[in-house]
Amino acid sequence: MMQRLQKILSDFGIASRRKAEELIKEGRVTVNGQIAQLGQKADPEKDYIKVDGKLLIRPEPKVYYAFYKPRKVITSLIDPQGRLTIKNFLKGIKFKVYPVGRLDYDSEGLLILTNDGELAYRVMHPSSEIEKTYLVKVDGIIEPETIEKLRKGIKIEGKLAIPVSVNFIKKLKANSWIKITLHEGRKRQIRKMLERVGHPVIRLIRISIDGIKLGELKPGEYRALTKEEIEELKKKAGLIKKAQK
């Protein structure tokens, strides 16, 4: 069946659709010996498709994992500076998986890992409105009026950042814990919001992604997603139609 090349590369677990487009633009993809063009279609059953000279082979089974990214670890498979990456913790996974989205170097918590490029693309797209929830330890005792200010939104780089919810959890001697849920995921958004209200982040932990929970995982551990978790995530991403009531 004829399909767009970027979808084929995504289905084969080569890269996300966005990254696949870059590979095609860079001239790194060929179809039957000819350099591919963006928007070109091919039949993976009949055509010889190569990336960087390597022939595409049958896709691996799609796999999905929840991973607890520790602090001081790069959300990447390679780091030119030689720092720890998530790859250092994934030696028990047989297939090459990629992180869905990112977590800052100093942040920790839940990452979804998969070789399902289409799902990754859909989950990361803003239109999916996937909810992500974080526990955040901040400097100082945060007051109710500051919580309310965060709920109404904080302007970052000229654009209002409005969380889905903000809740006070508890106060310590000189710090506070709060819980924040977001739809969007702008770079260092939570840290910037809290700096603006005078409560810099001390620790930031992502505890859930649209109902998939960190649970009992410890830093550096991973687990396979359940069938139910995968199905719900695909529904949210629009890959499975929701049942009509």
User: Hey, which residues are catalytic here?
Assistant: 104
Give the number of other Cβ atoms within 10 Å of residue 160's Cβ: 9
**3-state secondary structure (DSSP) of residue 209:** strand
Contact 156, 186 (CB under 8 A): yes
CA–CA gap between residue 227 and residue 221 (Å, rounded)? 19
H helices of the chain, in order, are 5-11, 17-25, 117-124, 144-152, 189-196, 227-236
Find, among 11, 14, 96, 94, the residue nearest to 45 by Cα: 11
CA–CA gap between residue 79 and residue 153 (Å, rounded)? 34
Give the number of other Cβ atoms within 10 Å of residue 192's Cβ: 16
> Which helix or strand (DSSP H or E) is residue 210 part of?
none
